[in-house]
Amino acid sequence: MEIDVSGTVCPQTVLIVRRCLEELEPGNELTVIGDYPPAERSIRRSCHKHGYSVAATSTTDADAEFALRIRVPSAAKT
* The one catalytic residue among 4, 6, 10, 65: 10
CA distance 21 to 60: 23
10 in catalytic set: yes
DSSP calls for 17-61: HHHHHHHSPTT-EEEEEES-HHHHHHHHHHHHHTT-EEEE---S-
> Catalytic residues, which ones?
10
